[in-house]
Amino acid sequence: MSTEVWSKADLHIHSTHSDGTGKIPEIMEYVATRTDLKVIAITDHNTIEGALFAKELEEIYGVEVVVGEEVSSTEGHILGLFLSEEIPQGLTPFETIRMISDQGGIAIIPHPFSRRGVFGPFGRSSFVAAISELAFHAVEIYNSVPYLGWANRVAAKMFHGGQGIAAVGGSDAHMVHGIGRGYTLFRGTTAEDLRKSINELETRAEADRGGIAVALRYMRSIPQIRRLQVANWERCKVRI
């Protein structure tokens, strides 16, 4: 049995199908050759197109792919994992989470305390209400986007077990070199093990300190990310 083995999964990755700079095959290549991630989720804004493409490539690269989407709800971004159908944008959090759950998916609050509109949904005061009133499965305690350091610290402080919700980490990578900088540690090795580990609230959020080099690369990529947001406007436009 693999129950004593713990593995890493990056649950929050963007590709060129929304505003990420990495094409799906580049992402798969990077994960396979440069990281020790066992599972990744492709979570583009309001589309599962790239994630489905990545899923088709998983055997070639030996990386298991979870089909995900970062859905723009009326209150902010919501990550849906283990999806088979695309979730439409513009619904309330309640409706969005219900559509994710109806197809057996996992609903996650990403970057809960970012003050940047497009990246942030729930403020400090509504966080407790959101996790008690809405059926989220997990909250992203670590997000490795460089300017979210402060928000991560608040998230970690406000999160304490016993809230019936799992802690996960993701990179929110918009370029391949950011992949794996934040990740989720789960029991087992497969995507199904990951799902089980989240359901049993035993996952942990961790950070791989990429250092200043990754932050600088990230800053240099911002103009390209902005251009992709314009090119994929219908998917990325919703500002909260």
**Interaction site with Zn ion (CB under 5 A):** 70, 77, 119, 172
Nearer to Zn ion, 119 or 159 (CB): 119
CA atoms within 13 A on the CB side of 202: 14
**What is the nearest approach in angstroms of Zn ion to the Cβ of residue 177?**
16
CB atoms within 10 A of CB 190: 15
**What is the nearest approach in angstroms of Zn ion to the Cβ of residue 148?**
10
**What is the nearest approach in angstroms of Zn ion to the Cβ of residue 178?**
11
Nearer to Zn ion, 39 or 42 (CB): 42
Q: Any residues with CB less than 8 A from the CB of 48 and at least 6 apart, and which?
A: 67, 68, 69, 83, 85, 86
d(CA 187, CA 199): 11
Which of 81, 88, 97 lies closest to 40 in space, CA to CA?
81
d(CA 170, CA 157): 17
**What is the nearest approach in angstroms of Zn ion to the Cβ of residue 228?**
13
Nearer to Zn ion, 10 or 193 (CB): 10
Please state whether 180 falls in left (phi above 0), alpha (psi between -120 and 50) or beta: left
d(CA 60, CA 16): 20
Q: Any residues with CB less than 8 A from the CB of 29 and at least 6 apart, and which?
A: 61
Amino acid of residue 179: I
**What is the nearest approach in angstroms of Zn ion to the Cβ of residue 156?**
18
Q: Which residue has the CB atom at the shortest distance from Zn ion?
A: 77
Nearer to Zn ion, 20 or 188 (CB): 20
**What is the nearest approach in angstroms of Zn ion to the Cβ of residue 2?**
30
